[in-house]
Structure 1
């Protein structure tokens, strides 16, 4: 498989879960990959796995809530590989499970800083790097970005914002050959999903699965396949869209 041969991709939150699965898939498709994360040891393990398989990758430390980290990430990608063609803005954090009045202002600002401002910080610098030759950007939203999420209002607000940002920027940058889309995962087997399930009232995760069509959690690799398609030429007519990958939870 060589759908991305010669292209350069950034994956934030690349150390685990959907980010890790996507970084590996990109590399297997021929892309050179920047695995960006705060978790250095786990991210370097992903880089090592890519290199063992014959691919090319590098680690970049990034806290997406810090604009200067995102600028440095894009700069490092271009300096190492010469260009930037693909960006998967996937880094995020789960919200606190509580009533809106109890979410707390500090928690609210932290969720928005990581999940929404983080995507914006990345996109500003990615777009500047792609304007001359085009590219593809995929942002991670959530099923909570298209419907209410009781007891997770900060998280839901951040993910609604990601979809609004995705659609708005897509309308601006299509003229430069840059396609911008989002994915909206439901329950996927990741550490973050496990953390959220543990913090939620007993039975919440089971109820979500029971409400879905397929009645099972997704695998990170299944989400990665969607990201891969959106970043490939096979999705050349797809822009400004947000794709549900939730086992039919929102059907």
Structure 2
């Protein structure tokens, strides 16, 4: 990897202290970027500080669902690093694992406020910087936004919204030279997936199930997603916008068939 692939770039990364976001922050720093990480979890920030070179990373305690928090996070990033070239909207939640009718109003609203409205907030407050730098927005979506998922209706709905929003934003900001794309993983071993797996009715079979839904035969760790994210935000992807890039190990090629043959798998 060219260690200067992101040389001189400044990235605002939400949800960057664990899982996919953590691996992305690590890869982005290795590629030469400065990264401002937004997290609403002080404990996870403190844990991440033990692993990262803090000359590369700046941490901000903020909630993506709160407009004032993100307005302040953008201003703090600019004060610290002087500009913003890239916004990676990675923060997200998945709970509850339930049908529409079993999802409460509060759970529904929280999912949309974090997973979708968080993108609205970062874009609203950072777009003036991105138009100056002819920058990039990357959203972390999911394969389930395209194909759905049993007992995960609200989460799948938010990821479908992320895909549609990504394409609309790509059209809106193309004239300003701002590219907007999304990454769409299938199963990836993260703390959030571990939490999800514990909510399933057949917990003992979940690991094997997650391996089997991927055509390549295994459920990956977050580093495979981080490598794809690095490509999409770099100049190597300079003519790509409005793309929902599946990084799925071929999960969509056999996912529906597997669910039909094993309807209690998820």
TM class, shorter-chain normalised? over 0.9
Question: Does structure 1 residue 93 correspond to structure 2 residue 93?
Answer: yes
TM-aligned CA deviation for residue 209 of structure 1: 2.8
Distance 1:117 1:200 in 2: 27
Which residue does 1:173 correspond to in 2? 173
TM-score for both structures, normalised by structure 2: 0.89
* Alpha-carbon distance in structure 2 between the residues aligned to 1:70 and 1:130: 15
State the aligned residue count. Answer: 249
Q: Distance in 2 between matches of 1:183 and 1:30?
A: 21
Unpaired segments ≥5 residues, structure 1:
none
Given candidates 48, 51, 57, the residue that maps to 1:49 is 51
- Alpha-carbon spacing, 1:42–1:97, altered in 2? closer, same or farther (3 Å): closer
- Shift of the 38–199 alpha-carbon distance from structure 1 to 2, 3 Å rule, reads same
Shift of 1:246: 1.5
Distance 1:143 1:194 in 2: 18
CA distance in 2, matches of 1:119, 1:166: 9
Residue pair 1:7, 1:86 contacting (<8 A) in 2 also? yes
Return 202-211 or 191-200, whichever deviates more.
Answer: 202-211
* Equivalent-residue separation in structure 2 for 1:44 and 1:17 (angstroms): 15
Which secondary structure state, in structure 1, belongs to the residue aligned with residue 13 of structure 2?
Answer: strand
Structure 1 partner of 2:238: 236
CA distance in 1, matches of 2:58, 2:52: 9
Q: Any stretches of 5+ residues in structure 2 without a counterpart?
A: 254-266
Which deviates more from structure 2 when the two are superposed, residues 118-127 or residues 200-209?
200-209
What CA RMSD, in Å, does the superposition of the two structures yield over aligned residues?
Answer: 1.5
- Alignment correspondent of 2:228: 226
CA positional deviation for 1:189: 1.1
Deviations 1:50-70 (A, max 9, x none): 326xx4221111211111111
Tell whether the 8 Å contact from 1:90 to 1:139 is kept in structure 2 after alignment: yes
Against the structure 1 CA distance between its residues 47 and 87, is the aligned structure 2 distance closer, same or farther, given a 3 Å change threshold?
farther
Alpha-carbon distance in structure 1 between the residues aligned to 2:123 and 2:46: 23
C-alpha distance in 2 between matches for 1:121 and 1:191: 25
- The residue that corresponds to 2:42 in the other structure is 40
210-219 or 1-10, which deviates more: 210-219
What does 1:1-251 correspond to in 2, within 5 Å? 1-47=3-49, 49-51=51-53, 55-202=55-202, 203-251=205-253
Q: Tell me, in whole angstroms, the C-alpha distance in 1 between the residues paired with 2:49 and 2:129.
A: 23
SS at match of 1:30: coil
CA contact (8 A) 2:12 2:86 kept: yes
TM-score normalized by structure 1? 0.94
